[in-house]
Amino acid sequence: MTTTPEHDDLAPVLRALRDGLPRTRAQLARELGLSRSTMSTRVDDLLALGLVAPTGDAGSTGGRPASTFAFTPGARIVAGVDLGATHARIVLTDLAAHEIADHREEVCIASGPGPVLDRVVEVVHTLLAEAGRDLADLAGVGVGLPGPVDHASGRPTKPPIMPGWDGHDVAGHLHAGLGSAPVLVDNDVNLMALAEHSSALPQVEHLLFVKVATGIGAGIIADGRVHRGAQGSAGDLGHVAVPGGEPVPCTCGNTGCLEAVAGAAAVAARLREHGVEARTSDDVVALVRGGNIVATQAVRDAGRAVGAVLASCVSLLNPSAIVVGGSMARVGEHLVAGIREVVYARPLPLATQNLRVTTSRIGAHAGALGGAWLAVENAFDTPGLLTRGTAGAADALSPVAPLPAAQVG
């Protein structure tokens, strides 16, 4: 089975069924303004493709009961890949972004794109095999990188902690090992924001996800979409000047940057000045959880500095939720308490009256899960992608059609 104009027509039907609610052919026809005979054909096509399954009989109003159908999220799968400075997390999910497989391992991003991406390909193959699926089922791959990514080309742009990756064709590299499924590449914090929005807070159209770790960055959801900016560097809060902050020198050459004041390394350095041994965010988290007062105060201060910058972001963007994640968020409420102190004090009441500030509910999965969401959204938005072949059909293993430049990188 190959892509046909008829199958492009299935996309609106699939999108309508995405909510998972069962419907009859007649209900679907009414909803989409199509004739019942046209809709009948389309439902038959979707049944044949395994994308829709019968769910039983609708309540009868006299006469023969009408059969209902619902979307089958497990008909295809996607992979979400989150690459950090020292780890790779790879998940497989169905088309509702429910996790089917989850794998995490230590990987050194600084070893360069070759070994890292080859390992990603290997893990995806292994996870597919373990789940009893194959490449023909794969409807897309979403990859998060710990640095700026040019969204149009999907290539990393001068990423500071990723030597050898500048301009690398990440999507092309993965295509070589993973076949024809579209590969989409983004900044990891953008994907965390996408996961928080899509999985945890789907009703929140304006959301700011803030990752506080060694680096500090934000992912922006505006009108329900990721805001990436002109060069893909939006959300780069690490080197914003903290209002009222100390002029601490920063690695970037400026002083008073948020990262130099409130990043994990800055907090650990301050603890050492007070005679408390700490190097990493893990050390800081362990100290706070162990009740160390100096560490707790330092984390609260860091929260206030993050809050001072976020207060400006709230005035500028007027989000209704701020979600705090990253390794430092594991200290519990102390970081968020410091953030709330300043965020609620500064902007005008209209901007904060409905604002929630919380810690991430998704935690360490957020990056990979966001990658899966990116691939899922792309699958529903690309005509013919989900309907180009039946699950397991051998022809889906070979490239079907040239992919748009923005996808293949």
CB hemisphere CA count around 277 (13 angstroms): 0
Whole-Å CA distances, 7 to 69, 178, 261, 376? 18, 24, 55, 18
Residues 88, 79 contacting (CB under 8 angstroms): no
x/- track of binding to a second copy for residues 152-171 (CB under 8 A) = -----xx-------------
When asked if residue 3 is in the footprint of a second copy (CB under 8 A), the reply is no
Neighbours of 136 (CB within 10 A): 21
Give the contacts of 18 (CB within 8 A, at least 6 positions apart).
71, 95, 380
Residues 29, 36 contacting (CB under 8 angstroms): yes
When asked if residue 218 is in the footprint of a second copy (CB under 8 A), the reply is yes
Of 208 and 298, CB closest to a second copy:
208
Total residues in contact with a second copy, by rule CB under 8 A: 51
Residues 241, 256 contacting (CB under 8 angstroms): yes
When asked if residue 205 is in the footprint of a second copy (CB under 8 A), the reply is yes
Of 47 and 241, CB closest to a second copy:
241
Instruction: Give the interface segment with a second copy, choosing from 74-82, 95-103, 187-195, 249-257 (CB under 8 A).
Output: 249-257
* List 167, 224, 229, 399, residue binding a second copy (CB under 8 A): 229
The minimum distance between CB 245 and a second copy, in angstroms, equals: 8
Q: In a 10 Å sphere around its CB, with 0-12 CB exposed, 13-18 middle and 19+ buried, how is residue 348 labelled?
A: exposed
* List 140, 142, 148, 326, residue binding a second copy (CB under 8 A): 148
Neighbours of 171 (CB within 10 A): 24
Span 294-333, contacts to a second copy by CB under 8 A: 308-309, 311-313, 315-320
* List 235, 307, 338, 371, residue binding a second copy (CB under 8 A): 235
- Binding residues for a second copy (CB under 8 A): 148, 157-158, 205-206, 218, 220, 222-223, 225, 227-237, 239-245, 252, 254, 256, 308-309, 311-313, 315-320, 345-348, 350-351, 353-355
